[in-house]
Structure 1
Amino acid sequence: MWALRWNNPRIHTPERRKVWLACDEHRTSLGDFLTARGFLKETRPHDGPGDEVAD
């Protein structure tokens, strides 16, 4: 499982992170979707409950 941390600079402050979780199969396509919009900030392994909490 992967945590894709992102923000929309038009509506979020620069330090704010939203988190979408993705399985191995969908990590790349979701990352591509966020990257195309300039939203993706980082991708990291999801460590378990509580790790998905956004800043």
Structure 2
Amino acid sequence: MNLFPEQGPDADTPPVCSAKGCRVPAVWVLAWNNPKLHTPERRKTWLACEEHREHLSQFLGVRGFLKDVVTLEEWSAADR
């Protein structure tokens, strides 16, 4: 199963940033959940490049959705 829907069907294609219109390879994973919709342990993910990490984090943080920000490498290494 593809953990990163932004990644193309070709496994060699790196996952890209979730920011609208950005096609830069992702470096960060922003784990979040909407407590009105998701159980507390559920984590949705957005991917971010260096340029968009702060903007996307702020967007989720203002809403109280942001739970964690880790590198894509760390996220991929963890058994999630």
TM-score tier, shorter chain, comes to 0.7 to 0.9
Aligned residue identity for 1:4: L
TM (norm. structure 1) is 0.86
TM (norm. structure 2) is 0.60
The CA distance in 2 between the partners of 1:32 and 1:20, in whole Å, is 13
Secondary structure of 2:52's aligned partner: helix
2:40 maps to 14
Aligned residue identity for 1:12: H
Structure ranking higher in strand proportion: 1
- Residue 26 of structure 1 deviates from its aligned partner by 0.1
Matched, 1:43 2:66: no
Aligned residue identity for 2:70: R
Instruction: Report the number of matched residues.
Output: 51
- Superposed structure 1 runs of 4+ greater than 6 Å apart: none
Which of 1 and 2 has higher RCO (CA within 8 Å, sep 6+)? 1
How many percent of aligned residue pairs carry the same amino acid? 55
- Aligned CA-pair RMSD: 1.7
